[in-house]
Amino acid sequence: MDSHEVQLARYPDGAIGARDFTIAPAQVPALGPGQVLVRLRRLGLNAGLANRIGGPDTAYGPGIRIGDVPASDGVVEVLESHSSEFQVGDLAVRKSPWRITDVSAAGELRRIPQQEADVPLEAHLTVLGHVGFTAYTGMMRFGGVRAEDTVYVSGAAGGVGSCAVQFAKAIGATVIGSAGSPEKVQLLRELGADTAFNHHDGTALELLRHAAPDGLDLFYDNVGGEQLEAALEMLRFSGRVVICGAASQYGKGTQRRGPANYAQMIYRQLTMRGFDVTSNEDLRPDFEADATRWLRAGKIRSVHTVIDGFDRTPEAFASLLSGGNSGRMIVSCDD
Ligand SMILES: NC(=O)c1ccc[n+]([C@@H]2O[C@H](COP(=O)([O-])OP(=O)(O)OC[C@H]3O[C@@H](n4cnc5c(N)ncnc54)[C@H](OP(=O)(O)O)[C@@H]3O)[C@@H](O)[C@H]2O)c1
């Protein structure tokens, strides 16, 4: 069967652009036992993929070389099934190569239950998807968020951050978020953040001191560096830090910045805990139950930017890398 896919065409010279990719024809093999033919409906894009272009293999996937097809999470529809687990028309989430029609082992699909048929497809790549599960795991299991907490989320308008803000609000906490543009700060307010600020408007410590004059109980960190140092100054006695990511430090090699003031952890008996969401699958049923309930109750919403047309995936990826998104960047492949 004929399909088409996005391949890396050349290594970027400077910032990654749409021109660094090409759309190429692809052949999909005949189905074997236990396999399904799927069509991509929505494709979620991750900025982190950029780190792997021409780079080494990482825990999140292999290095991407010329001619390779990147992969990220997508919502697919089953077109044909040689598996007893899936029928034609079923919807599922999978780590999807950037290929419009593809063959997948049934075991690599996570079914979207029939009772979620009314939920917009994009939500399965945001609040109900991987970024949502990451935020839920960090906020609930490792952060132990409580209604009485004052919580600070860095990188709060990003994929994980926008979910972390909303989940903490759904629990009833007071939430402070930081982001990198006035539009993103406005988005944080719309998501319910009690206080939101632009991290470009001053030093991290000045801005956080102003936003949280009475201190913090919990810091959910997506960014690291200056934000982490500032939060360590502002946490109350017994405060908690959850290390989800360190976006400000990626690619900096030996120039990485650590928290020079980590001794604050001694004086105020702070706890800092890193986590990897992939080791927490046992929490998924709780996440799905809570997030679906909050979504139906209007307590949370999917935050995403949609670009229409699978062939525009390279353009969407370049736009994501230059900050042209609000929440998750998603390509709609329904044309
Ligand atoms: N622990 C896990 O299992 C796990 C799982 C998934 C993701 N992660 C990590 O979680 C983090 C968030 O992921 P995501 O998918 O939400 O990524 P994302 O949408 O790209 O968000 C990351 C945000 O970090 C902010 N940022 C980057 N550099 C910054 C700097 N120098 N100062 C302040 N803010 C900066 C950017 O916000 P502004 O544009 O607003 O400045 C960006 O939106 C990443 O670090 C990722 O690697 C961890």
CA 99 to centroid of ligand 1, rounded, Å? 26
Q: Is 275 in the pocket of ligand 1 (CB under 6 A)?
A: yes
Q: Which amino acid, one-letter code, is at 16?
A: I
User: Nearest 5 degrees, angle CA 242-CA 166-CA 164?
Assistant: 20
Helix, strand, coil percentages, rounded to 5, for the chain? 35, 30, 35
Q: What pLDDT score was predicted for residue 34?
A: 97
Cα–Cα distance, 2 to 13 (Å, whole number): 32
3-state secondary structure of 308: strand
335 has pLDDT over 80: no
Question: Each residue of 193-211: pLDDT tens digit?
Answer: 999 999 999 999 999 999 9
Cα–Cα distance, 10 to 25 (Å, whole number): 17
CA 70 to centroid of ligand 1, rounded, Å? 20
Which of 187, 222, 226, 284 most suits a substitution to test ligand 1, by most atoms within 8 Å of the C-beta? 222
Average pLDDT, integer, range 250-279: 92
327 has pLDDT over 90: no
How confident is residue 326, by pLDDT bands cut at 50, 70 and 90? confident
Alpha-carbon distances, residue 299 vs 19, 157, 172, 305, 319 (angstroms): 40, 17, 11, 20, 29
Sequence spans of domains, the chain? 2-123+302-332, 130-278
Concatenating the DSSP letter of every residue in 111-156 gives: EPPGGGTTS-GGGGGTTTSHHHHHHHIIIIIIT---TT-EEEESST
Residue of 288, 274, 329 whose CA lies nearest to 306: 329
Cα–Cα distance, 260 to 239 (Å, whole number): 18
Question: Each residue of 83-139: pLDDT tens digit?
Answer: 999 999 999 999 999 999 999 999 999 999 888 888 999 999 999 999 999 999 999
324 has pLDDT over 80: no
Q: Is 223 in the pocket of ligand 1 (CB under 6 A)?
A: yes
Alpha-carbon distances, residue 188 vs 273, 291, 319 (angstroms): 25, 18, 21
Superfamily of segment(s) 2-123+302-332:
Medium-chain alcohol dehydrogenases, catalytic domain (3.90.180.10)
Contacts (Cβ under 8 Å, ≥6 apart) of 272 = 240, 241, 243, 265
Q: For atom 9 of ligand 1, which residue has the closest CA?
A: 245
Contact in structure between 329 and 307 (CB atoms under 8 Å): yes
Q: What is the CATH number of domain 130-278?
A: 3.40.50.720
Cα–Cα distance, 133 to 44 (Å, whole number): 15
Nearest atom in ligand 1 to the alpha carbon of residue 154 is: 34
Q: What pLDDT score was predicted for residue 189?
A: 98
